[in-house]
């Protein structure tokens, strides 16, 4: 969480840094700040509580044309969102400015040293002490980069940090400590840029290199050097990154979330590029394992957080059904701490659109220590997850800007379907006729997702009727269960309505006590082998005066007159139902949020990438 940007070159840095922050605002948006500095203009610092626009208003007409600068957009961890707690933070003499993403775990102890000497801190953050520590070392005559390495040795935690010294105009140093918070460095013509992720650099350059944990960068307009924690020089590879900048604009849509929901037919079309029905085969780019390694697998563990974990839950069904390998799903944050039993025959599949979610990275490290083969499903080129896993299956959805994930879930589910079919074929556990049927069925999914989007007016109408409720229950069984969880998550995050997602079989074990006329239930009820059970659940809700919004298969009549709202979904193979069924969940949440006037793309308290625990 938090976005950091740096620029040093020959152009005025202010607009470049602010534009970079705009592209990183999805990482945190409770306050923002900028520091500009060069030989002619000294150190200029401005901060503002609230979204980036507040900062832009505040600095309008006053930005010096300095040719170097750093900026920050914040997601508060230590100290409330306020001008004082916004970055950059300075040392008492105003010589050093820092911006930081991540957590300094021992900041109390570090601060105490200065407090004993009567120092005054202006913020409640864990960051400010880093400026104090750096200034202390600079006063002792240390070089800025050496000072940064020294501070990184003292400040425990996982974080990314940029620092500048007003006495060395145009020089920016950067540190990456642990797995939280990436830093990508862009190489331009007579200029260099730094940012938390690629999206902020792309308008300026595609030639980039990524800082690895334990690496430090020394960046000037005309020079770039890298060292490790011991100060030894490192040679870094510079890669040219493809990235669709156009996709990062809203276009005709009112919100990024809506645009990204509408991009899903193309998303699935792309994810199908390895599917061919004759002979039935799925070629998965990025799966690095030999047939012998695949045959030796005894278990699959899927990890992820939030929406990515819900995609993993769908993936578990696919792995067990098509590859017949025992599969389990874990929330990465639980997985990493419970000492999971793993070995070299356990395939770990991590799902993360950002590839920077701190708990998922930690889970992957746990798997690496145990010698597990690993593949990650990721949407961000060069993200840390792609560097831990043995192979990466890219979602290739283009940037997902809205904080609420939509198209990356659809891509993840389909890629897991492809992985399962591939594993099943190699292991000989997948009947070729089933493989052909699934591949052919999958090729119809883009059209079915497109048809699901046509339900939007109906969902907007339902949203209009239900947007004033404060509690919702989402129920599903089998492949509908992850959708119930996802539907509830989407509604919570974008509309701030309390929503619970449950496996429908669990309803009578507690949640049923909540049901009355004030709590509508969304029932995900495709015509599958557990449809009759879902029908009973719907009856039970209605018997307690609860309203029911039912999502059913095309042509289903059994809930007519029973549910208050019946939405028929486009026809699709039952195994692929989640890919189509998730679309109305997204649209319902979106339209309820719009009805309530919520900030759809940047919901309160959230950030797109969660890089702190």
Catalytic residues: 2, 608
307 contributes a contact to ligand AGP by CB under 6 A: yes
Strand partners for 97: 90, 164
101 contributes a contact to ligand AGP by CB under 6 A: no
In a 10 Å sphere around its CB, with 0-12 CB exposed, 13-18 middle and 19+ buried, how is residue 185 labelled?
buried
360 contributes a contact to ligand AGP by CB under 6 A: yes
> Please, which residue, 494 or 550, has the CB nearer to ligand AGP?
494
Q: How far apart are CA 479 and CA 314, in angstroms?
A: 6
In a 10 Å sphere around its CB, with 0-12 CB exposed, 13-18 middle and 19+ buried, how is residue 544 labelled?
middle
Query: What number of chain residues touch ligand AGP (CB under 6 A)?
Result: 15
Tokens of 595: 């009805």
Q: What angle do CA 63, 65, 70 make, to 5 degrees?
A: 70
Beta-strand relationship, 565-568 and 327-331: unpaired
Q: How far apart are CA 486 and CA 191, in angstroms?
A: 43
CB of 247 to ligand AGP, least distance (A): 17
420 contributes a contact to ligand AGP by CB under 6 A: no
CB of 19 to ligand AGP, least distance (A): 23
352 contributes a contact to ligand AGP by CB under 6 A: yes
Task: Please state at what angle helix 445-453 crosses helix 432-443, rounded to 10 degrees.
Answer: 40
Contact indicator for 214, 180 with CB cutoff of 8 Å = no
264 contributes a contact to ligand AGP by CB under 6 A: no
Contact with ligand AGP (CB under 6 A) among 209, 353, 397, 611: 353
| Residues 562 to 591 in contact with ligand AGP, rule: CB under 6 A | none
> Please, which residue, 1 or 566, has the CB nearer to ligand AGP?
1
Tokens of 319: 């792995």
> Please, which residue, 69 or 487, has the CB nearer to ligand AGP?
487
> Please, which residue, 84 or 331, has the CB nearer to ligand AGP?
331
374 contributes a contact to ligand AGP by CB under 6 A: no
Contact indicator for 583, 264 with CB cutoff of 8 Å = yes
Contact with ligand AGP (CB under 6 A) among 77, 346, 354, 602: 354
Contact with ligand AGP (CB under 6 A) among 256, 609, 611, 612: 609
Instruction: Tell me which stretch binds ligand AGP (CB under 6 A): 82-90, 401-409, 526-534, 549-557.
Output: 401-409
> Which residue's Cβ has the minimum distance to ligand AGP?
306
Beta-strand relationship, 327-331 and 299-304: parallel
Q: Can you give the three-state secondary structure of 169-227, one letter per residue?
A: CCCEEEEEECCCCCEEEEECCCCEEEECCHHHCCCCCCEEEEECCCEEEEEECCEEEEE
| Residues 467 to 496 in contact with ligand AGP, rule: CB under 6 A | 493
CB of 394 to ligand AGP, least distance (A): 13
> Please, which residue, 44 or 474, has the CB nearer to ligand AGP?
474
Helices (DSSP H) in 470-517: which residue ranges?
480-495
Helices (DSSP H) in 85-174: which residue ranges?
107-116, 128-139, 144-154
CB of 590 to ligand AGP, least distance (A): 12
> Please, which residue, 163 or 589, has the CB nearer to ligand AGP?
589
Binding site for ligand AGP (CB under 6 A): 305-308, 352-354, 357, 360, 403-405, 493, 609-610
């Amino acid at each position: 969480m938090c976005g950091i940007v740096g620029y040093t070159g020959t152009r005025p840095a202010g607009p470049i840094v602010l534009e970079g922050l705009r592209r990183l605002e999805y990482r945190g948006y409770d306050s923002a700040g900028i520091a500009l500095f060069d030989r002619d203009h000294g150190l200029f610092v401005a901060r503002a509580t609230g979204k980036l626009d507040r900062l832009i208003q505040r600095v309008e007409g006053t930005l010096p044309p300095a040719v170097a600068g750093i900026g920050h957009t914040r997601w508060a961890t230590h100290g409330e969102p306020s001008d004082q707690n916004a970055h950059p933070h300075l040392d008492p003499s105003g010589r050093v400015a820092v911006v930081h993403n991540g957590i300094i775990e021992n900041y109390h102890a570090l601060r105490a040293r200065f407090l004993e000497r009567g120092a005054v801190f202006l913020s409640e953050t864990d960051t400010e002490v880093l400026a104090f520590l750096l200034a202390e070392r600079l006063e002792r005559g240390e070089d800025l980069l050496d000072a940064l390495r020294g501070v990184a040795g003292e400040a425990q935690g996982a974080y990314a940090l940029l620092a500048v010294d007003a006495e060395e105009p145009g020089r920016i140093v950067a540190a990456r400590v642990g797995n939280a918070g990436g830093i990508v460095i862009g190489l331009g013509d007579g200029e260099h840029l730094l940012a938390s992720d690629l999206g902020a650099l792309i308008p300026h350059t595609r030639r980039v290199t990524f800082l690895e944990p334990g690496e430090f960068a020394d960046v000037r307009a005309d020079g770039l050097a890298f060292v490790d924690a011991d100060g030894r020089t490192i040679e870094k590879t510079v890669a040219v990154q493809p990235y669709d900048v156009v996709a990062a604009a809203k276009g005709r849509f009112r919100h990024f979330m809506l645009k990204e929901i509408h991009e899903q037919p193309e998303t699935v079309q792309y994810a199908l590029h390895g599917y061919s029905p004759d002979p039935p085969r799925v070629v998965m780019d990025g799966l690095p394992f030999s047939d012998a390694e695949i045959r030796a697998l005894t278990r699959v563990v899927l990890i992820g957080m939030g929406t990515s974990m819900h995609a993993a839950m769908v993936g578990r069904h696919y792995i067990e059904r098509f590859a017949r390998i025992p599969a389990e799903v874990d929330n990465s944050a639980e997985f990493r701490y419970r000492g999971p039993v793993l070995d070299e025959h356990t395939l770990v599949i991590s799902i993360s659109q950002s590839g920077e979610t701190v708990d998922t990275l930690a889970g992957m490290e746990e798997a690496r220590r145990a010698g597990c083969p690993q593949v990650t499903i990721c949407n961000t080129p060069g993200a840390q997850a792609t560097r831990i896993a043995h192979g990466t299956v890219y979602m290739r959805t283009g940037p997902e800007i809205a904080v609420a994930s939509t198209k990356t879930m659809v891509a993840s589910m389909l890629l897991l379907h492809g992985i399962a079919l591939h594993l099943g074929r190699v292991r000989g556990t997948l009947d070729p006729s089933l493989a052909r049927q699934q591949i052919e069925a999958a090729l119809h999914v883009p059209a079915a997702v497109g048809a699901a989007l046509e339900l939007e007016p109906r969902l907007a109408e339902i949203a209009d009727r239900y947007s004033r409720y404060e509690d919702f229950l989402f129920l599903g069984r089998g492949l509908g269960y992850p959708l119930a969880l996802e539907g509830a998550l989407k509604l919570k995050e974008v509309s701030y309505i309390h929503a619970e997602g449950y496996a429908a079989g669990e309803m009578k074990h507690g949640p049923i006590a909540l049901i009355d006329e004030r709590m509508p239930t969304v029932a995900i009820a495709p015509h599958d082998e557990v449809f009759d059970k879902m029908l009973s659940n719907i009856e039970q809700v209605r018997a307690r005066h609860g309203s029911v919004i039912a999502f059913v298969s095309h042509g289903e009549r059994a809930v007519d007159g029973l549910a208050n709202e019946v939405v028929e979904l486009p026809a699709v193979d039952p195994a692929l139902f989640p890919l189509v069924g998730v679309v109305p969940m997204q649209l319902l949440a979106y339209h309820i949020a719009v009805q309530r006037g919520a900030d759809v793309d940047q919901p309160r308290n959230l950030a797109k990438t969660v890089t702190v625990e």
